[in-house]
Amino acid sequence: MYLMFSIIIALIFNAIDYVTGLIGAIKEKTVNSTKLRDGLFKKIGFILCYFLAFLIDTQGHVVGINLEFHVLPFVIAYVVVTEIVSICENISIINPDIIPEKLLNLLHIKVEDKENEQN
């Protein structure tokens, strides 16, 4: 039950990111079917990762995968943090008064500076 509930919560984050991205694209008048399709495939990829982690956690022992921890919480944590960053960026497009760095800082999420990543 816990595993399914956590997947549902992750799916909600996926949906919020998709919807806020679509709203941002409509606002900016940059709606592009290719980008929408790419975003949808990204979400499908996340869903497949949830399914794979769920299978490993619940049935991995059948094929010899005996982990002492559950994989799904790590997959969900990664995806949810990724989606939160994307949602914050989308919100700043929808409402330019909201600066994504301040919103992420408020949520205590650290994002590497793109300039530092290039060095």
10 Å Cβ neighbour count for 90?
Answer: 23
- In this structure, of 60-64, 66-70, 86-90, 93-97, the range with the lowest mean pLDDT score is 93-97
Q: In the chain, where are the structural domains located?
A: 2-112
Where b means 16+ CB within 10 Å and e means fewer, 103-117 reads bbeeeeeeeeeeeee
Token pair 């793109």 is found at: 114
Would you say residue 19 has pLDDT above 60?
yes
To 5 degrees, how large is the angle CA 76–CA 81–CA 85? 145
Would you say residue 109 has pLDDT above 90?
no
Whether residue 98 contacts residue 91, with contact meaning beta carbons closer than 8 Å, is answered with yes
Write down the mean pLDDT value for the chain: 87
